[in-house]
Chain A
Amino acid sequence: MTMNELDYLGKIWGEIPATDSSQTITKLKKLDFFQKRINRLKVVAIILLLTSFIVSINFLSNITLEVYIGVSIIIASTVIFIGYYLKNQFYTSKLDYGVESAKFAHEAISMLRKQNGIFGLPFLMFIIFMIVGANIMFLGMTPDSESGSANPLYFHIIFSVLIALSGFLGLLVRRWRIRKEVTPLIEELSRFENGKSYE
């Protein structure tokens, strides 16, 4: 084996044949068509869900103001958090694949960091608002006169702890995934971005 043989290998490298992909264009056109249809269906489904939820709330009787306020806080905080999540979520489709790889890596890294940022202060705020909303809602659902043996304070504490705990568990899972999937990818992309490998 000599260094010259690497040049020879370069020559025979060109003899590797491609797979038969004659159907590729047809498949792509079909996929394009279905992607657009699926996106439209998703929008319609979300609108239908929200409409039916609002309509069903109006049909319920004996709803106190606290329940309205509590539910509104929960819905608003969920919608805002999901909106923020979707805006900052890492989607490969958001990337421009036609740019130089170093720039591409830079953009991908900043998107991945943005995605990691969702589970900092915004997620904490979301959990706090969920707890506040749930507690206000429970105030309306467990008035002192009807509570009997139930302890409203105990009830509030249990639910608050449950929401906080599920939030904490969600955070743990997300951090584990970030460590396992995102951090190595960022490290890998960083080599392309700043040319560390080329120093």
Chain B
Amino acid sequence: MNIQQKEKLFLEVYTDYRLTIYRICYGYIYEKEQVDDLFQEIMLNIWNSMEKFKGDSSIGTWAYRVAVNTALLYNRKTKQYKKVSREATELNTLVDHSCPEEHKLKETRLNQLGLSISRLERQDRLIISLILEGLTYDQVAEIVGIKANYVGVKVNRIKKQLYEILKKYDNE
């Protein structure tokens, strides 16, 4: 693969999957600065792994795999096992401002969702982020490398956990 082909393929991934990958980072980390950092690391790994892409899966699945795998090892040397405080981060970046009240509600809900996801186990965060992106159980299974029915069982459990955490926000 020459540099032009590499750049073309990278641009394709970047254009089509950038937003999704960014949201996966957001689901995994939540803190803005670290989200950007992880996103850059994923893009770097996609760039560096480009030659290894054989085409035996779709480019999207491959890009998601790189994203999930990078997140698994992200920052393992410095901050990996420190509990990160996520309370200070506010999203406040939603694009749609047409209805201020609805916009505020959405933002509050998204912040609560982000916080709730951040309380899940690391692999659960990745799986629910993929599900929130609209991927099917089969697609998630293909990325993660486990059976689709396991994904289903896991997702149901995660949803229940999220439901319990979000319920607490409603009561506050």
Contacts and interface: CB of A to CB of B under 8 A. Distances in A.
A103 B81 CA distance: 23
B66 interface: yes
Contacts of B62: 98
A167 to B, nearest CB: 24
Given A21-B18, A96-B52, A181 B163 contact: no
Nearest to B35: A19
Contact of A32 (B23, B45, B47, B131): B47
B interface, how many residues as a size bin? 35 or more
B93 A185 contact: no
Contact of B146 (A21, A29, A102, A185): A102
Contact of B153 (A17, A21, A95, A198): A198
B106 interface: yes
A19 B89 CA distance: 15
Given A9-B109, A12-B110, A15-B106, A98 B43 contact: no
A100 B144 contact: yes
Nearest to A100: B145
Binding site secondary structure of chain B: helix
B18 A197 contact: no
Interface stretch (A72-80, A129-137, A154-162, A188-196): A188-196
Contacts of A180: 81
- Please indicate which of the listed interface residues A21, A100, A105, A191 has the most CB atoms of chain B within 10 Å of its own CB: A100
B133 interface: yes
Interface in B30-82: 35-36, 39-40, 43-49, 52-53, 62, 65-66, 68-70, 72-73, 76-77, 80-81
A6 B62 CA distance: 27
Interface string B8-32: 0011001000110011001000000
B110 A16 contact: yes
Given A192-B72, A197-B121, A28 B45 contact: no
Contacts of A51: none
Contacts of B18: 18, 21
A108 interface: yes
B92 to A, nearest CB: 11
A105 B146 CA distance: 12
B163 A1 contact: yes
Contacts of B93: 16-17
Interface in A135-193: 180-181, 184-185, 188-189, 191-192
Given A14-B133, A25-B7, A98-B66, A93 B48 contact: yes
Given A6-B166, A100-B143, A198-B154, 15 more contacts: A3-B163, A6-B163, A13-B23, A13-B133, A14-B134, A15-B106, A16-B22, A17-B19, A31-B44, A98-B66, A101-B65, A101-B69, A101-B72, A180-B81, A198-B151
